[in-house]
């Protein structure tokens, strides 16, 4: 068994002591270049710009700072634009809020008049078009549950199942029906155009319900960025395989998923989504409330530490911080602790056993899949220090990282813009390099880069993979001993 990938032989700051990536959200608490530098030093690999908050000018300033820090450190940084998606909310109340009694009647309608204890506006005709009697409507992140007694195209009569109070403009969730809504609002389209012009590496699509949502987004994005499907609607679970196939990556967005589904369902769904994304070779992030208490406290709860560890044991590509780094009092500490938890898990002997046991057949495997599986097996058998992949599209690297090897995966590429997004993938370090035509030159370059990074030294073994001929293929495998007179 090879040593964990998070144990590089050198101390180069470009190299992490873990495979699992850390995603940090930028916001008011982390909007200066000094804090961004500290976040990168603490272990952040990917940064999220949350377009539910902040202006375009603020996002541009943060993006520019990220690229400056990337230049300073020489470590590529992937940037994700997270689109807000359709936010459904009730209107206002004449008194700002009301008290509720379980069993009382509450009418939802399209009226613009301020609400009272008997009714409130719901300015979303598409909801009424989809509602059916005996379905539920959730308000205020599920704190209020309403049961639909009757409905029409402009109103619904409900009874209060649970909840004691309700105030202005609280969010609405309708878990039991597919809403006739695009995942892209007019605001999202403007934000998307702006983000693509900035040059983000990933676009996260919120409230995906069906494969058609991804097809629409793909038509606008093309190949300018990776498309990440946020799984936070029960309807998305019903067509999960089709959604994963159309996306470039997946996020287990446990916030809204936990509102619309029973809490006891979320852990098993998390494992299912991670497993299916891994099987498809798509990067998968576990997100939401991972270290939530660190918004106000300098240390997480034991339950939160266990939650992060579980995602790492599941083999997720990345774990994500939201409010902890965007608005919390301890953004750098939150990243450092998440980094520390991932390191500790990956150094546990049980971790590698679990990862190996989780490997599932990847469907109809190709010769490229066989090569990358062999690369992982050889790296383990020979205690190689790294697997070096040469790619212009990223496909070779993704095949290797899908195998969850126990060594770092160096992605050597002539096109950083297209492949920087691979910084989200498990164990991958993207390294810009000139374009080499001959495989021999690629091997020599890869060995030199591994030595320069401090990953390998004289006498160490490296495994090199690449594709020759057909773009996107992987058909070459070489075992190299560092310091050989010839390769």
Active site residues: 48, 89, 230, 288
Beta bridge partners of 109: 121, 155
Question: In whole angstroms, what is the distance from residue 57 CA to residue 59 CA?
Answer: 5
Question: In whole angstroms, what is the distance from residue 422 CA to residue 105 CA?
Answer: 52
Beta bridge partners of 230: 251
Residue 164: CB partners within 8 Å, gap ≥ 6? 99, 100
Kind plus residue range of the DSSP H or E element containing 390: strand 386-390
SS (H, E, C) 232-252: CCHHHHHCHHHHHHHCCEEEE
Backbone phi and psi for residue 409, each to the nearest 5 degrees, phi listed first: -115, 110
Longest C-alpha distance within the chain, in Å?
84
| Strand 136-139 to 172-173 pairing | antiparallel
At 93 the three-state DSSP class reads strand
- The beta strand positions in 102-225, using DSSP E, are 105-109, 119-121, 136-139, 144-152, 155-162, 165-167, 172-173, 202-205
Provide the phi-psi class of 19: left if phi over 0, else alpha when psi is between -120 and 50, else beta.
Answer: alpha
| Residues 268, 274, 276, 281, Cα dihedral to 10° | -170
């Amino acid at each position: 068994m090879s040593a964990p990938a998070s144990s590089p032989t050198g101390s180069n700051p470009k190299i992490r002591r873990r495979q699992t990536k850390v995603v940090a959200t930028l916001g008011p608490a982390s909007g200066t270049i000094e804090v961004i530098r500290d976040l990168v030093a603490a272990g952040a690999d990917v940064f999220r710009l949350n377009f539910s908050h902040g202006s375009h000018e603020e996002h541009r300033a943060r993006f520019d700072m990220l690229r400056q820090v990337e230049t300073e450190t020489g470590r590529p940084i992937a940037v994700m634009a997270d689109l807000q998606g359709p936010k459904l909310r009730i209107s206002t109340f004449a008194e700002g809020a009301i008290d509720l009694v379980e069993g009382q009647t509450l009418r939802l309608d399209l009226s613009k008049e301020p609400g009272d204890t008997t009714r409130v506006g719901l300015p979303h005709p598409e909801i009424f078009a989809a509602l059916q009697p005996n379905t539920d409507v959730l308000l205020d992140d599920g704190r209020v549950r309403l049961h639909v007694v009757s409905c029409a195209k402009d109103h619904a009569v409900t009874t209060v199942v649970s909840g004691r109070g309700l105030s202005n403009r609280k969010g609405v969730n309708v878990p039991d029906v597919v809403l006739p809504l695009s995942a892209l609002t007019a605001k999202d389209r403007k934000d998307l155009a702006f983000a693509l012009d900035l040059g983000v590496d990933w676009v996260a699509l919120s409230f995906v319900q069906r494969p058609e949502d991804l097809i629409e987004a793909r038509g606008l994005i093309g190949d300018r960025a990776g498309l990440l499907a946020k799984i936070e609607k029960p309807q998305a679970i019903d067509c999960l395989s089709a959604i994963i196939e159309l996306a470039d990556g997946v996020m287990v967005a446990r916030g809204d998923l936990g509102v619309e589904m029973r809490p006891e369902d979320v852990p098993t769904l998390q494992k299912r989504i991670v497993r299916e994304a891994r099987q498809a070779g798509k990067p998968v992030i576990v997100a939401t409330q991972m270290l939530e208490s660190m918004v106000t406290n300098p240390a997480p709860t034991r339950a939160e530490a266990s939650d992060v560890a579980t995602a790492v044991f599941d083999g997720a590509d990345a774990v994500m911080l939201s409010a902890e780094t965007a608005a919390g009092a301890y953004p750098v500490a939150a990243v450092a602790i998440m980094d520390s938890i991932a390191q500790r898990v990956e150094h546990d002997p049980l971790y590698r056993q679990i990862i190996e046991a989780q490997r599932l057949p990847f469907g109809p495997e190709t010769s490229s899949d066989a090569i990358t599986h062999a690369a992982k097996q050889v790296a383990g058998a020979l205690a190689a220090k790294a697997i070096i992949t040469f790619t212009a599209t990223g496909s070779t690297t993704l095949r290797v990282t899908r195998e969850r090897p126990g060594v770092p995966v160096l992605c050597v590429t002539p096109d950083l813009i297209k492949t920087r997004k691979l910084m989200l993938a498990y164990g991958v370090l993207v390294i810009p390099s000139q374009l080499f035509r001959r495989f021999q030159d690629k091997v020599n370059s890869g060995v030199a880069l591994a030595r320069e990074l401090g990953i390998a030294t004289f006498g160490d073994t490296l495994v090199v993979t690449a594709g020759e001929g057909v773009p996107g293929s992987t058909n070459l495998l070489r075992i190299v001993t560092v310091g050989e007179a010839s390769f």
